[in-house]
Amino acid sequence: MSLFKQLLLAICLFLLVAFSGSFIVSLESSRSQYVNQLRSHAQDAATALALSLTPNIDDPAMTELVVSSLFDSGYYASIRVVELDSNAVLVERKAEPDSAGVPRWFVRLIGLGAEGGDAIVSRGWQQAARVEVVSHPMFALAKLWQSALGSLAWLLLCGVISAVLGALLLRRQLRPLDAMVAQSHAIARRELVTISPVPRTPELRRVVLATNLMVEKLKALFAEQAERSEKLHAESYQDSLTGLANRRYFEMQLAAKVSNLEETRAGYLLLLRVMDLSGLNLRLGGQRTDQLLQAVGQQLQRTCARYPETHDLITRSRGGEFAVLAPGMVHEDAVRLAQALTLSLQDLHATGASDISPIACIGVAPYSPGDSPQALLKLADEALARAESQPEPGWVCLEQGMSAQAADSQHAWHERLDSALRDGHFALFLQPVVDAHDPQHVLHHKVISRLDDGAEVLAAGRFLPWLERFGWTPRLDLLVVENVLKHLREQPQPLALNLSGAALTDPAILQRVFELLGRNSAAGRYLTIEIGEEQLPEQAKLEELTRRLHALGFAVALQRFGGRFSMIGNLADLGLAYLKIDGSYIRNIDTEPHKQLFIEAIQRAAHSIDVPLIAERVETEGEWRVLKEMGVQGIQGQLSGEPAPWR
């Protein structure tokens, strides 16, 4: 029973005990008073009757008349006139008065009996007869019954008023307890929230201040670990001069984004080289050359900001060389990006940022899922060399034979994907995510969608770029969510499902997703909604999204985490179920110590807010052993199992 109900019940019991005690004391006092009144009433009536009968004791008719008149005028059970010498009854009147609406159980409970009195009738100096009068207690019982009903009505009125006022007062005073319960639930969901305002009640104030202090300590600990991890990330993967990613990060992402057949999207690699860097150092000096490189990096970021495919994949690989990796980019966009960069660098020269013209040359090369990173770099270097060797250096885009991206017809893809979305020709595949310490224990299955329209089964990397180009990824999200919820009704099991960034930023689509989840809230115990790091909305919208999903009963997690590492300090307010580390930080972790240091830093930060870590794209036994020793909870990838159709 809750404390609120206990206190309210205690108030009611106190009122009941107080009323019962007061009623019993009052009843006993009234009972004693009524007993005396009945006895006095009977005695007075007997004395008055005896005086009235003294001159008429020898007249039977007159005696009976006097007795009858007295009997009819009061509450008497019986009146008798008895001759003293022979004990003969001269006159007797008796009756059973009406109950006056008093219940029999109340009569038995009160126990108020009849009281009598007697007097002597004289004949001269001789005692002639005895008058016996018995007063009936019914009028006293009626008064007591009315008094009891009045007391009960007053008790009920006071009880209702006290209960209402007590409930309001208790609810107000115990509101901090509800806040503490909500705070504890938030901590259980890995959300660190404080209670404000602090209650005025001293006892509750001390408890709330203690819990707030605990939360603040946890936040401070997490912020410290996050700051340390972010610093380590910047030292390991960020170029100190331009603030862009460095060559180590570029090579790591190149290997992760190109060679994987399951998740890789066909795209383009762009290499930009500042011409004659050594000559610039001699002519301009090191400081001005560094400023030029910084300006080129800033211009590169501004130009690539119009192309979401290049998000967080802009790097300074070495010296005056920059690289842009664009998964999902089509040929037309790659050409436009190269042209825009050439024009922006010309603008940079026009503003006086450089004394040479042109500043840089650009080489562009396509890639398809499964290509070798070394072959792609070789092709891009060749494009860069051709751009440098042109009479007017600029940009060159090379095609690797019949590129799959170039061979695809936009109209054909439009028709094919539109038909597949209308007819539901997308199959659900499941990939197990297993416990790193017990690979036989499956934590959950990751839901993966593939195009299955009868011609062939295509992985997401083949059709997702076209869906994004046509703006149809929300349609696929709705279709997959409906199918997953349908399957969960028939076959409940822990699952993880990713929502695209387009669905998260479209209020209408997001509302339809919430409606679907709300109608299937029973599936909340099995389904975790994953959000890709590159698809995250701004912090306020992200917190509102996680709150709504938690309210519907669904857990939330982040996947492919690592690129936007600066947001790790905001994870404490999201209540994440787990954090999936991007596979680029996992690949060859057993042979690359810098990745181990980075994962250890994330592990410490996540452990301080009790968020489990799961490693993506684990492919070798060596990677698995290192991750297990580092305390990573789960693994996902070829080592744990290939995606299989959901049957």
What separation in angstroms does the CA of 140 have from each of 35, 118, 266?
Answer: 9, 21, 102
Closest by alpha carbon to 476, among 409, 416, 546, 421?
A: 421
Does domain 3-170 match CATH 3.40.50.970? no
120 by Cβ neighbours in 10 Å (0-12 / 13-18 / 19+) ranks as middle
DSSP one-letter string for 88-110: -EEEEEE-----TT--HHHHHHH
pLDDT of residue 213: 87
Q: Is 562 left (phi over 0), alpha (psi -120 to 50) or beta?
A: left
Query: Would the pTM count as exceeding 0.85?
Result: no
Query: From the CA atom positions of the chain, what is the Rg in Å?
Result: 47
What is the CB neighbour count within 10 angstroms for residue 199?
21
Rounded CA separation 422/411 (Å) = 17
Rounded CA separation 633/437 (Å) = 7
User: What token pair was written down for 412?
Assistant: 């054909």
98-102, 364-368, 449-453, 548-552: segment of lowest average pLDDT: 98-102
409-645 CATH, one of 3.20.20.450, 3.40.640.10, 2.60.40.10, 1.10.275.30? 3.20.20.450
User: What are the residues whose beta carbons fall under 8 Å from the beta carbon of 109, sequence distance 6 or more?
Assistant: none
Any alpha helices (H) in 521-632, and if so which ranges?
539-551, 593-608, 621-629
Q: If you ran DSSP here, which 8-state letter would residue 637 be given?
A: S
User: What token pair was written down for 645?
Assistant: 């159709």
pLDDT of residue 490: 87
92-101, 157-166, 587-596, 598-607: segment of lowest average pLDDT: 92-101
How confident is the model over 478-496, as a mean pLDDT?
A: 92
What separation in angstroms does the CA of 86 have from each of 30, 50, 60, 134?
Answer: 40, 18, 16, 22
Rounded CA separation 26/345 (Å) = 102
pLDDT of residue 285: 80
Is 92 a residue whose pLDDT tops 80?
A: yes
pLDDT band at 493 (very low <50, low <70, confident <90, very high): very high
Is 401 a residue whose pLDDT tops 50?
A: no
Rounded CA separation 502/393 (Å) = 38
Residue given tokens 């984004």 in the structure block: 257
Rounded CA separation 403/256 (Å) = 20
Residue given tokens 């001005």 in the structure block: 288
Sequence letter at residue 175: R
Q: Where are the beta strands (DSSP E) in 126-171?
A: 126-135
User: What are the residues whose beta carbons fall under 8 Å from the beta carbon of 374, sequence distance 6 or more?
Assistant: none
Closest by alpha carbon to 399, among 376, 417, 421?
A: 376
CA-CA-CA-CA dihedral for 103, 104, 107, 110, to nearest 10: -90
Sequence letter at residue 81: V
Is 405 a residue whose pLDDT tops 60?
A: no
pLDDT of residue 406: 43
pLDDT band at 407 (very low <50, low <70, confident <90, very high): very low
User: What token pair was written down for 580?
Assistant: 């999936």
54 or 365, greater pLDDT = 365
pLDDT band at 190 (very low <50, low <70, confident <90, very high): low
SS3 559: strand
For the ranges 131-135, 141-145, 521-525, the maximum mean pLDDT occurs at: 521-525
3-12, 349-358, 607-616: segment of lowest average pLDDT: 349-358
Closest by alpha carbon to 377, among 293, 264, 261, 251?
A: 251
What are the sequence ranges of the domains in the chain? 3-170, 247-406, 409-645
SS3 320: coil
Is 233 a residue whose pLDDT tops 90?
A: no
247-406 CATH, one of 3.20.20.60, 3.30.70.270, 2.90.10.10, 3.40.50.1970? 3.30.70.270
User: What token pair was written down for 160?
Assistant: 């209702």
Cα four-point dihedral sign 77, 82, 88, 89: negative
Counting runs of H as helices and runs of E as strands, what totals does the chain give?
Answer: 20, 19
Is 322 a residue whose pLDDT tops 90?
A: yes
Pairing mode, strands 267-274 and 321-327: antiparallel
DSSP one-letter string for 361-423: EEEEEEE-TT--HHHHHHHHHHHHHHHHHSSS--EEE---SS-HHHHS-HHHHHHHHHHHHHH
What separation in angstroms does the CA of 370 have from each of 254, 258, 377, 386?
Answer: 12, 6, 14, 26
pLDDT of residue 527: 95
What is the CB neighbour count within 10 angstroms for residue 255?
17
- For the stretch 256-293, pLDDT in tens is 888 765 666 788 999 998 887 877 788 878 888 888 88
Is the Cβ–Cβ distance between 273 and 380 less than 8 Å?
no
Pairing mode, strands 555-561 and 527-532: parallel
Rounded CA separation 464/501 (Å) = 12
Pairing mode, strands 126-135 and 115-123: antiparallel
